[in-house]
Amino acid sequence: MAGVLLGAAVLIAAYWVAWLVHRSLVASETGAAYTQFEVAFPLADGWLALCLVAAWELAINLVTLSLSAFALRWAWIRREALLTS
């Protein structure tokens, strides 16, 4: 899942780089209204890319928390055996 999130963020960034560097790679039209419409989205797309990357970090933190709780519970249940070893 993390790969999908990062892949989406990279695709968004690649689209905007292409738009800024060579607009004809991604533009389906050249009209003024189309251009104005597309230019309205960089901030929203930047926010989306940031959220995608942050969600990936959240997944790492949740897995770490879950595994830590599992390890603590496992050790607590077996504490007698672990302390006498």
Per-residue pLDDT 10s for the chain (85 aa) are 778 888 999 999 999 999 989 888 888 888 889 889 988 999 999 999 999 988 888 788 889 999 999 999 999 999 999 998 7
Token code pair at residue 82? 């672990």
- pTM for this model (two decimals): 0.64
Domain assignment of residue 59, given as a range: 2-84
Q: Which residues of 73-82 are buried (b: 16+ CB within 10 A; e: fewer)?
A: eeeeeeeeee
42-77 helix and 2-21 helix, angle to the nearest 10 degrees: 160
Work out how many domains the chain is built from and give that number. 1
From 16, 7, 13, select the one nearest 55 (Cα to Cα).
7
